[in-house]
């Protein structure tokens, strides 16, 4: 045995403790969601998911993500292009500001939109005078979701774009390609895995956001309830099976997200290894 390891009993004990901790804190919560969802049989499970309020919540959740993710995707591409490919003053400040939404409490993220659009808010009177409903309605839900997932595509793309450097783009330009051709034919194929990675993480958070959306939604059943809010209402009504049934959908979303994430990491690493590049650590923080 090399000097670079501990005696077998210590190794086993450490592995044992680590795995028990993970089981207690990660595996059990996941299991309990599915067990509770199915404990009254598959029929009840399906019935609680096909309830009109549940379907409305699923629809709203999908719609929100469908709007929020593309917005942040476009932003992510623009921001990473500017930050990774060019040098300018105050770049670090810009990066810090972009990351800001991740360090703001979800409740505060909701609060700022209430302060902006709410009845007593800055734009409240004007909005009311023109009959536009933002808070406790779809626009606020979408805006808040965009806010909390704001940096998620950009922060994946910036390191990936940086790692590829500018040379291939410069080569494309010397060969006569215009800006659009350069981006579409050279940059995009290089960053595709990073892009997909960011979109998947952004989507998971957009569909799962609870605190911020809870502040601005108004909890109107069938209208402004997203899936996480629907879970809360059912749970507080002691309708545990239905709550866990809805939760199981989001748990599956989380599982699918993790699986896709692992696949992308694997593909990306293989591609980089083939290209003889060092492995770039993807940002992991959702």
Query: CA 7, 8, 9: angle at the middle one, nearest 5?
Result: 95
CA distance 186 to 173: 10
CA distance 135 to 114: 7
Span from 42-50, 51-59, 125-133, 243-251 in contact with another protein (CB under 8 A): 243-251
Q: Which of 51, 62, 159, 168 binds another protein (CB under 8 A)?
A: 168
On whether the CB atoms of residues 46 and 211 are closer than 8 A, the answer is no
Torsions phi, psi for 212 (to 5 deg): -65, -45
Q: Return the SS3 of 208.
A: helix
Asked if 19 is part of the footprint of another protein (rule: CB under 8 A), the reply reads: yes
CA distance 76 to 99: 12
Helix and strand numbers (H, E) in the chain are 15, 0
Span from 41-49, 51-59, 125-133, 162-170 in contact with another protein (CB under 8 A): 162-170
Asked if 237 is part of the footprint of another protein (rule: CB under 8 A), the reply reads: no
Asked if 177 is part of the footprint of another protein (rule: CB under 8 A), the reply reads: yes
Asked if 96 is part of the footprint of another protein (rule: CB under 8 A), the reply reads: no
Q: Which of 60, 114, 152, 153 binds another protein (CB under 8 A)?
A: 114
Q: Which residues contact 11 (CB under 8 A, 6 or more apart)?
A: 5
Span from 42-50, 51-59, 125-133, 168-176 in contact with another protein (CB under 8 A): 168-176
Closest CB 217 distance from another protein, rounded Å:
12
Span from 43-51, 52-60, 125-133, 225-233 in contact with another protein (CB under 8 A): 225-233
Q: Which of 211, 222, 239, 269 binds another protein (CB under 8 A)?
A: 211
Closest CB 215 distance from another protein, rounded Å:
6
Judged by CB under 8 A, the chain residues 251 through 280 that form the site for another protein are: 251, 253-255, 257-259, 261-262, 274-276
CA proximity to 95, closest of 27, 151, 162, 168:
151
């Amino acid at each position: 045995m090399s000097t670079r390891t501990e005696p077998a009993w210590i190794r086993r004990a450490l592995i044992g403790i680590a795995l028990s901790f993970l089981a207690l804190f990660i595996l059990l919560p996941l299991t309990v969601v599915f067990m509770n969802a199915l404990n009254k049989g598959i029929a009840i499970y399906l019935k609680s998911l096909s309830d009109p309020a549940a379907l409305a919540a699923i629809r709203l959740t999908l719609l929100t993500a469908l709007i929020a993710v593309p917005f942040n995707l476009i932003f992510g591409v623009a921001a990473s292009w500017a930050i990774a490919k060019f040098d300018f003053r105050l770049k670090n400040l810009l990066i810090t500001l972009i990351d800001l939404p991740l360090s703001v409490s979800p409740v505060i993220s909701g609060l700022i939109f209430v302060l902006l659009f709410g009845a007593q808010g800055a734009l409240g009177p004007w909005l009311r005078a023109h009959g536009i409903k933002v808070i406790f309605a779809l626009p606020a839900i979408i805006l808040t979701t965009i806010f909390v997932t704001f940096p998620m595509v950009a922060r994946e793309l910036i390191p990936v774009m940086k790692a590829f450097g500018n040379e291939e783009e410069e080569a494309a330009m010397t060969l006569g390609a215009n800006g659009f051709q350069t981006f579409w034919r050279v940059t995009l194929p290089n960053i595709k895995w990073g892009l997909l990675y960011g979109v998947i993480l952004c989507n998971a958070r957009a569909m799962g956001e609870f605190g911020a959306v809870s502040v601005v939604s108004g909890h109107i059943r069938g209208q402004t309830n997203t899936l996480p809010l629907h879970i809360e209402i059912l749970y507080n009504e002691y309708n545990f099976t239905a709550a866990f049934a809805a939760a199981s959908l989001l748990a599956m979303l989380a599982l699918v997200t993790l699986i896709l994430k692992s696949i992308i990491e694997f593909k990306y690493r293989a591609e980089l290894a083939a290209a003889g590049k060092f492995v770039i650590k993807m940002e992991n923080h959702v």
